[in-house]
Copies of this chain bind each other. A is one copy, B any other.
Amino acid sequence: MDTSAIFTQEPSEPGSVRREATAAILAAAERVFSRGGFEAARMAEIAAEAGLPKANLHYYFGTKERLYAAVLEDIVTQWLDAAAEWIVPERHPAEALSGYVRAKLADARVRPGASRIFAGELLRGAPLVMPFLRGELRRRVEAMGRVIESWSARGLMDKVAPAHLFFAIWAMTQTYADFDVQIRAVLGEDGAHEDETFAAATATVTALVLKGCGVHAAA
């Protein structure tokens, strides 16, 4: 073991302890909140997973609700990027929609907890994310809706109700994270067939969206 790092180490960059602690707390909180939502989560459990005393959580975040809000903020921020990357007028709808579906399904698989926390927040009536839903999300859906309409106008796909198409895509993809337990139970999974399940899900959802919207194969 190289112990020289002790000597070459910076004399504690300001906020480095804070940054590591808050990062550990946020990661632990995402895991715990994803299991049973806000109410079921216990501050003591989050503290234990973060490897810190319970009092530190209150020191850094004040209340349970503010910690939960910080986790939600994290999730929502990353949420919008995938859509902005794929749903752009320059792409052909075949590429855009299949790419978006694939990205959403991959995210549901890699980071199911984030989707579940968001789902739980909506089920509760969205007390905390309501401003986001009515503001930023609504504007994004309107903008993406105009992209869809431009594709329809160019004859690249059928006319559809754009917002409802997004509701459908979100529902079909996020169900693999949110209701994962149901899917495993019905398919009788022991975890061994994960790759086939993912492939079948991708094929099914992509086909429903592309053929369902009458998207012509890209030239």
Contacts and interface: CB of A to CB of B under 8 A. Distances in A.
B40 A124 contact: yes
B204 A165 contact: yes
A66 interface: no
A123 B123 contact: yes
Interface residues of A, number: 56
A53 interface: no
A186 B125 CA distance: 14
A204 B124 CA distance: 26
A137 B200 contact: no
Contacts of A167: 172, 175-176, 179, 183, 201
Interface of A: 35-40, 116, 119-120, 122-126, 130, 133-134, 137-138, 141, 158, 160-161, 163-165, 167-168, 170-172, 174-176, 178-179, 181-183, 185-188, 200-201, 203-205, 207-214
